[in-house]
Amino acid sequence: DGQPTTATLQASKPGPVYNKDVFTQFAEHLGEGIYGGLWVGRNSNIPNTNGFRNDVVKALRDLSVPVIRWPGGCFADEYNWREGVGPQAKRPVKINTHWGGVTEPNTVGTHEFFELVRQVGAEAYVAGNVGNGTPREMAEWVEYMTSPAGSLADERAKNGHKEPWKIKYFGVGNELWGCGGNMRPEFAADETRRYSTFIKPPAGTKILKVAAGANVDDFNWTETMMRVAADRLDGVSLHYYVHPAGGWPPRAPAVDFDEHGWADALAGARRMDDLITKHSAIMDKYDPQKRIFLAVDEWGSWYAQDEGTHPGFLRQQNTLRDALIASIHLDIFAKHADRVRMTAIAQMVNVLQAMIFTEGSKMVLTPTYHVFEMYKPWQDATVLPMDIKSPWYGKDEFTMPAVSGSAVRAKDGKVHVALSNLDPNQSNTVTIKLDGVTAATVSGRVLTATAINAHNTFDAPEAVKPAAFNGATVQDGSLVVTLPAKSVVVLELQ
């Protein structure tokens, strides 16, 4: 509508910390998410360390991945941890009933997961089995992983790891309303009370317990879980996927979309703001101090699988559109940083909105990877309020503010500003009044491309990658930025 975009960045009114665990990544036993994508085995020709591929681990280290969520997802509520410890050759081969009906060799189990966590330099988010496991199995698994003494600790040592591991987060099941047991909310909340009773870390240590939360806008689920089980919990989760064209299973193409599909998906990403606001308001009723965090531990795009890929493997190409979906989410999480202290994108490698694709020995980074890299200064930074007033962008029935953004003061004291232009057709000049920041210079990078569906392939791995950006200046106490159409810009003020 031709209005200029304006904002005030209020550095004099610092907000909450942007918890680095918002950048958690989810790695499920699904398709090539683990096998092939992360794990190739010690005897593989693909360069690896203790079975995990060096190229992928290096790329993940470069992102400073804070936490890895494992082993599911739906996989978690059928997982028997006992089948994944001990000599690999003796582990039972199971059927992955959720994901493609393929065999699950159990080669990657608890010890291998913690080896991945160690190599990446992350912490652990383990999802327990409430669906078809018992509280005793869950208790024994926690003891096996964390106890310094006792028979289970001895068994762990015999299996190669004397030192106990640290579990930062433990999921009390996953999607108990669906694949985790098709429970009604009252029953799920009671089961959550019961199972969480038996998650007992050793004295002097703490495990943050996360309840399996609501699907999208199931506010009654959050209400019931909070009313019945809040006193047993540290976090309650929320799952919401962007899937343009509606319906389930998702059917929109990952690459062959037009502007209608672009706007549909970005409006879908914007919806996260409303969902968090409403779930959080319910949590406020029971927990006004915000002791319990909302863990958005599955988010991202979900499209039809790429043609020719194995059914149930959820392999989908990742385009510039996904980069914007990521930046929109990360900005929304800044707005809700007081309540949203952990989130996990789905998923890490080869599955859904992936950071990385592999094929044999080849690896490629996605546009989403680059956004996570550009937002690294947000990890444990202080959120600075920045209210953006922008014109609207719209296509067909989908309308939204054209500019998304967030600002932080990083741990090193520098102010960083992220701005995304959702309009694929027009550039947008944003004028941000700087309140409480004395900056003389600005530098930054931009992620954009000519086509809305630009993406990286093994043959053209750098079609979408960050480039130096010189469209920003500081003038008379304001930051003036000309955002190219369909771009993500991240700036640093000096």
Catalytic residues: 175, 298
Shortest CB 28 distance to ligand AHR, Å: 5
Q: Are 2 and 381 in contact (CB under 8 A)?
A: no
Q: Does 298 bind ligand AHR (CB under 6 A)?
A: yes
| Residue (74 or 282) nearer to ligand AHR, CB | 74
What's at 487, amino acid-wise? Answer: S
Give CA–CA dist 414/411, Å, rounded: 7
Q: Are 414 and 463 in contact (CB under 8 A)?
A: no
Task: Name residues contacting ligand AHR, limited to 320-349 (CB under 6 A).
Answer: 346-347
Task: Name residues contacting ligand AHR, limited to 57-86 (CB under 6 A).
Answer: 72-74
Q: Pick one of 147, 174, 343, 390: the residue that binds ligand AHR (CB under 6 A).
A: 174
Q: Are 400 and 415 in contact (CB under 8 A)?
A: no
Q: Are 26 and 343 in contact (CB under 8 A)?
A: no
| Residue (237 or 406) nearer to ligand AHR, CB | 237
The span from the first CA to the last CA of the chain, in angstroms, equals 33
| Residue (225 or 400) nearer to ligand AHR, CB | 225
Q: CA 81 → CA 62, 110, 125, 137, distances in Å? A: 30, 7, 15, 8
Shortest CB 182 distance to ligand AHR, Å: 13
Q: Pick one of 28, 104, 112, 423: the residue that binds ligand AHR (CB under 6 A).
A: 28
**Helices (runs of H) and strands (runs of E) counted in the chain:** 9, 28
Shortest CB 438 distance to ligand AHR, Å: 45
| Residue (73 or 444) nearer to ligand AHR, CB | 73
Residue nearest to ligand AHR (CB): 73
Q: Does 188 bind ligand AHR (CB under 6 A)?
A: no
Q: Within 10 A of 175 (CB to CB), how many other CB atoms are there?
A: 24
| Residue (28 or 140) nearer to ligand AHR, CB | 28
362-365 and 5-10 strand pairing: unpaired
Query: Mapping DSSP to helix (H, G, I), strand (E, B) and coil, where does residue 303 land?
Result: coil
Shortest CB 386 distance to ligand AHR, Å: 31
CA 479 to chain centroid: 30
| Residue (196 or 353) nearer to ligand AHR, CB | 353
In order, the DSSP letters of 252-298 are S-SSS--HHHHHHHHHHHHHHHHHHHHHHHHHHHH-TT--SEEEEEE
Q: Does 250 bind ligand AHR (CB under 6 A)?
A: no
Shortest CB 410 distance to ligand AHR, Å: 31
Binding site for ligand AHR (CB under 6 A): 28, 72-74, 174-175, 298, 346-347, 352
